[in-house]
Amino acid sequence: MEIGYVRVSTVKQDLGRQLDALASAGISADRIYADKKSGATTNRPGLQDALRHARAGDVVVVHTLDRLGRTVRDTLNLVHELKERGVGIRTLADPLPIDTSTPDSPIAQLAVVMLALFGEMERTYAAERASHARAVASTNGRRTGRPSVVDADKLEHAVLLRDKGLSMKEITAKTGLKRTTLYRHLPPRSPGTDPMTTNAP
């Protein structure tokens, strides 16, 4: 029996493409398990259910190998664990086709290693590119990431307190705002005249 597994990293992402691919491969909806969680977490109930239902001779089918795990070690450990149980893995859209239900095929085993390695490398490069983009944006005075929501009344209160000469510690105590929030949102003042920098303990 073939058992399908699909995964996306967040609840906002769509499983449609993976589900369509599994349906086209002849896997019925009642044999498909799903997760909307990062592959980096071990808490993936859908995957655990799929593995519990797999029996010797079954094949777990995924769209691409990286749906099973985000690191080479985790992916290979899972492949090995399933092999010991007599369960194969088949992918539908990887550039190197994988079907470990034929355990004597060296090409299938090599493809698993290569695809897991390439997937981890690409995630590393993507993280480096994102980090570089954030650094460039910060250098150019632009903020990145989610916009923060700050209580306008508290911020206005903080401005008044700063103008009265209160220290950073006093302003944070009276407004409940964090130091980082104050530095980020208060209008800038000339160095040497800002009590947030000159009087802060």
The rounded distance, in Å, linking the Cα atoms of 198 and 201 is 9
Q: How far is the C-alpha of 174 from the C-alpha of 127, rounded, in Å?
A: 39
Nearest one of 145, 142, 172, 140 to 186, comparing CA atoms: 172
Q: Does residue 94 contact residue 115 with C-beta atoms inside 8 Å?
A: yes
**Terminal-to-terminal C-alpha distance of the chain:** 68
Report the C-alpha gap between 194 and 30 in whole angstroms. Answer: 65
Q: Give the sheet arrangement for strand 88-91, strand by strand.
A: 32-36, 2-8, 59-62, 88-91
* Residues annotated catalytic, as ranges: 9
